[in-house]
Amino acid sequence: MKKKKVAPVVVAAPVAPVQSIAQTATSVEAKASMDKVKEMAGKLGVPFTNDLMALGSNSAISDSLIEKAVAAGKTET
């Protein structure tokens, strides 16, 4: 009896799901926005803490930063 040649079986490694362009863009925008409020905190001399990050939106974070700076008698220059 003749032996048949069999091609070797190649098992592919699992692949992580690829982010969509929209998800990647949203992630980049969120990081850029977070960098802006961190920069604002630095200019106002207000520490950027976890309680600020917990506020969620940049608007809420900005408002809190301004309140803290005004309470401390600081201004952005």
pLDDT at residue 14, rounded to an integer: 66
pLDDT at residue 56, rounded to an integer: 81
* Residue at 36 is within a domain: yes
pLDDT at residue 64, rounded to an integer: 92
Number of Cβ atoms within 10 Å of the Cβ of 49: 11
* Residue at 52 is within a domain: yes
* Residue at 4 is within a domain: no
pLDDT tens, position by position, 7-66: 777 666 666 566 666 666 666 666 768 888 889 888 888 898 888 888 888 889 889 998
pLDDT at residue 16, rounded to an integer: 56
Domain count, the chain: 1
Number of Cβ atoms within 10 Å of the Cβ of 27: 11
Q: Is the pLDDT of residue 76 over 60?
A: no
Which one-letter amino acid corresponds to residue 26? T
Q: In whole angstroms, what is the distance from residue 77 CA to residue 71 CA?
A: 16
